[in-house]
Amino acid sequence: MFSLSRKDLAALAVFAVVVLTMPLWLSPLGAAYPGLMQKFAIYAIFAIGFNILFGLTGYLSFGHAAFIGVGSYTTVWSFKLLTMDIVPAMIFAVITTGVFALVIGYFSLRRTGIYFSILTLAFAQMCYSLAYSVLTPITNGETGLLLARDDPRYLDAMFGAQANIAGLPQPTFLGSSVTGYTGFYLCAAILIVAFYVSQKIFASPFGMALRGIKSNQTRMNYTGFNTKPYMLAAFVISGMFAGLAGALLSITDPLAGAERMKWTESGNVVLMTILGGVGTLFGPVIGAWLIKYFENIFSAINTNMLNNFFSFLPDGLQNVVVTVLSKFVGEGWHLTLGLMFVLIVVFLPGGLVEGFHRLMARLKRRRGTPGGVTSVQPAE
């Protein structure tokens, strides 16, 4: 039941090593901070979950940010009301988002194509707007939901834990704090499990049915599959992944704000998935890492750093280069991001993973290896 094919097992092993050694290989890239690496892991989980829906069934949801938000709020409420332990928080977050996804999915899945996308977008935008207005008692509006010293935490109180700690309580995992590297390894471990689950789904008859829906829904119906519950199951599973990601966001930084539910966040996960490669196992993860990397690294570069870096150039040239480049970094990193999308979509259709496969196929052909091209489509 928990077994994987040899190919998948190898992929999982490689993936686990890559994720766990992040602190090593990210440090030359200037990104080996626990806070950032946590984000890498969390958004990778989000993208993996999104890919289960979009990659397998082809249904493009534009409202997945709502599930991140629901997961975050549930987690903080679990911290406030029950206990600072993260396990119940995560369980509640996943269950609540599952229920949410069930309701939203039930209605949205009555339509297909862009009508489905707009329905999910509309539901998410409603959640977002309501979080700022009517639902303020639950969401604490623009301030965001925060922990407070005098939160009841009934379970903790019952067991007398954390009774006399000064300052705000910290989330714990079975009693130990989850800040810094512990937090990263927690997220990393969950990411590896998420990747494994996605592998299992991809390789299962269930996953095959989802692919069948993407490929030809008519044939699915006439073949005896009731496609509705399949879609709903995929939607709910994918929503639960997002809820888990939302929970981890609030575990590593215990607050929840409505801005996480904004449609641009939903757009981000779409971009991550497409950028890496829709329907591939590694694609969404790579996409998520790239976008988060650029967001953090490029936005942190400022003019001084550029000046230092280009100080070897003659003064006039240095000024020109720095002025031009400064438009692309710091505040302007969005420009780089936008250009990156355009360039990648124009030159690497199908995302990075597909582009990599094409490149490999081309290299193989150039070397003249006979029969090198198997399932990979020839370039052009």
Partner 1 sequence: MSETPPNIILHAADVHKNFGGLRALSDIDLQIEEGKTHAIIGPNGAGKSTLLNVIIGRIPPTSGAVVFDGTVLTGKAPYEINQLGISRVFQTPEIFPDLPVLHNVMAPAFARRDGAFRINMFRSVESEGEIRQEAEDMLNDIGLHGRREDHAGSLSRGDKRRLELAMCLIQRPRLLLLDEPTAGMSRHDTNSTIDLLRKIKSSGMTKVIIEHDMHVVFSLADRISVLAQGRIIASGLPQEIKEDPRVQEAYLGGSVE
Partner 2 sequence: MNVFLAQLLNGLDKGGAYALIALGLTLVFGTLGVVNFAHGALFMLGCFCAVTFRYLITLETVTVDPEKLSPWGAPVEVRTPLVQNWFGDFGAVLVDYSVPISILLAIPVMLIIGIAMERGIIKHFYKRSHAEQILVTFGLAIVLQEIVKSFFGANPVPQPIPTDLRGAADIGVWFGMAPHVLTYPWWRLLYLLFSAVVIGGVFAFLQFTTFGMVVRAGMADRETVGLMGIDIDRRFTIVFGLAAVVAGVAGVMYTPLLAPNYHLGMDFLVLSFVVVVVGGMGSLPGAVAAGFLLGILQSFASMTEVKSLIPGIDQVIIYLVAVVILLVRPRGLMGRRGIMES
DSSP 102-163: HHHHHHHTTS-HHHHHHHHHHHHHHHHHHHHTTTHHHH-TTT-EE--TT---HHHHHHTTTT
Q: Which amino acid is at 183?
A: G
Question: What residues contact residue 252 under an 8 Å CB cut-off, 6+ apart?
Answer: 35, 38, 42, 178, 179, 183, 187
Residue 102 has phi, psi (to 5 degrees) of -60, -45
Asked if residue 330 binds partner 2 (CB under 8 A), the reply is: no
Burial class (CB in 10 A: 0-12, 13-18, 19+), 357: middle
Binding residue (CB under 8 A) for partner 2 from 339, 359, 363, 379: 339
Which residues between 57 and 96 bind partner 2 (CB under 8 A)?
A: 60
SS3 303: helix
Q: Of the listed pieces 69-77, 79-87, 195-203, 273-281, which binds partner 2 according to CB under 8 A?
A: 273-281
Task: Closer to partner 1 by CB, 34 or 207: give it.
Answer: 207
Binding residue (CB under 8 A) for partner 2 from 114, 168, 359, 360: 114
Asked if residue 118 binds partner 2 (CB under 8 A), the reply is: yes
* Count of beta carbons in the 10 Å neighbourhood of residue 330: 16
* Count of beta carbons in the 10 Å neighbourhood of residue 185: 19
Kindly state the DSSP code that residue 370 receives in the 8-state scheme: T
Counting residues that bind partner 1 (by CB under 8 A) gives 36
Task: Closer to partner 2 by CB, 104 or 245: give it.
Answer: 104
Binding residue (CB under 8 A) for partner 1 from 54, 59, 67, 230: 230
Asked if residue 371 binds partner 1 (CB under 8 A), the reply is: no
Shortest distance in whole angstroms from residue 227 CB to partner 1 = 8
Asked if residue 324 binds partner 2 (CB under 8 A), the reply is: no
Asked if residue 113 binds partner 2 (CB under 8 A), the reply is: yes
Task: Closer to partner 1 by CB, 201 or 248: give it.
Answer: 201
Secondary structure element (H or E) that encloses residue 256, with its range: strand 255-256
Which listed option, partner 1, partner 2, none, makes contact with residue 1 (CB within 5 to 8 Å by class)?
A: partner 1
Which listed option, partner 2, partner 1, none, makes contact with residue 174 (CB within 5 to 8 Å by class)?
A: none
Which listed option, partner 2, partner 1, none, makes contact with residue 266 (CB within 5 to 8 Å by class)?
A: none
Distance of CA 231 to the CA centre of its chain: 20
Site map (CB under 8 A) of partner 1, residues 74-113, x = contact = ----------------------------------------
Which residues between 187 and 226 bind partner 1 (CB under 8 A)?
A: 197, 200-201, 203-209, 211-212, 214-216, 218-226
Shortest distance in whole angstroms from residue 329 CB to partner 1 = 40
Binding residue (CB under 8 A) for partner 1 from 3, 164, 176, 264: 3
Asked if residue 271 binds partner 2 (CB under 8 A), the reply is: yes
Question: What residues contact residue 21 under an 8 Å CB cut-off, 6+ apart?
Answer: none
Identify whether the C-beta of residue 281 lies closer than 8 Å to the C-beta of residue 198.
yes
Tell me the C-alpha distance between 124 and 214, whole Å: 24
Binding residue (CB under 8 A) for partner 2 from 122, 146, 147, 321: 122
Tell me the C-alpha distance between 148 and 154, whole Å: 14
| Chain contacts with partner 1 (rule: CB under 8 A) | 1-5, 197, 200-201, 203-209, 211-212, 214-216, 218-227, 229-230, 233, 237, 374-375
